Structures are given as structure tokens and as C-alpha cells.
Structure 1
Amino acid sequence: MHDWDSLAWLPEAAIAGAASGAFASAEHPTLVPVESSAAFLDAYQETRGRSFTDEERRLAWAASLWPAAHNARTEVLYGREPIALRALRDQADARLAGL
């Protein structure tokens, strides 16, 4: 299997956002709690020395769903326990609202 997504150019906010949704996943990849993603994004912006614009913030929150959406697809396709799918259902609205 090839990780073609890693070859793509993505805006910084999308990369940070995707990381904010998955950084603490352990054995079975899923979404971290929304509050953990918010803390991740706050720390990221503080470290880089500049806050995201409103557009970048929306992009980051939307991108925080990408890894879980990919994992939920795999769960459905292969009949696995819907761990990421449940997390998506529980957190998507809050994440897309950008907290």
C-alpha cells in the first residue's frame, strides 16, 4: 500500500488540523476528544508565533476529521468494530462548527 497523501502539498492549517484529530490515537486509530484537539491547535499556533486566520481555523477543524473518516471507511469496508465511525458521529458537528 502506498501513502500517496503524504506526497501531496497541503496548507499548513490542514496538516496541523489532521494531526490535531489523531495525535493521541493509540492501538486503534480514532478521534481524540475535541478538547484535546483544541489544546493541540492552541499550542501549535502559540509555538509558531502566529494565530490562524478564521479561514485557516475552519480548515484545521475540518481537516481534523480526515484521519477518522479514512479509518471509519476501513471499518465499514472490512466489517470491523466502528470505533472511528462512532467518534465521527459524536464529534463531527462540534469540529465542523470550529468550536
Structure 2
Amino acid sequence: MRVVAINGSARKQGNTAILIKYVLSELEKVGIETELIELSGEKIQGCTACYKCFDKKDGHCAVKSDIVNDCIDKMVEADGIILGSPIYFADITAEMKA
């Protein structure tokens, strides 16, 4: 079994990271393979509403210059996904929305 976690916080060592790392360590104790993806500092363009992801039917973004497609591939291959984000103004971070 494999679980991928995505940290949408701008702070790599913030509270969201602490909680995600705790959960991943507990999963590893029972033999589950884990991977943590940190969005902080990564280039993410965001959705341009071109709808090519729908046209191609593979869910991949037409924007190839950021890490979004790599994240999509890892989520598709995973058996479980954990999404972590702080809440700013009653919503998740812009990086997590992208």
C-alpha cells in the first residue's frame, strides 16, 4: 500500500507539515509506504480554464512548466491521498487549489 501526502502550506516546517509528518510516521509504523510532496517554493501556474484536461481525458494539465502533472501522476498511482493546508480567510491556500 502507498499513501501520498501533499502539504499546501507556504511554510515547510509549519503546523500543517508537523501534522502531516506525524500521520505519515504512524502509517510507516504499520508498513505503509509514504511520500510527502511539499508545494512550498514550487512553481505552480494554476488553472487557465483551457479545458484541455477534459478534452484529453487523462486529467493532465496543458501547462507543462510546473509540478502539477507530477502530482497528478503520484495521486493516481497511490492507494491513499492526504491533503493538508492551512486555512486563510476561510479557504485553503492558492497552491493547494492549483
Q: TM-score, normalised by structure 1?
A: 0.32
Larger proportion of helix: 1
Which has the bigger relative contact order, CA under 8 A and spacing at least 6?
Answer: 2
Greater C-alpha Rg: 2
Larger proportion of strand: 2
Q: TM-score, normalised by structure 2?
A: 0.32
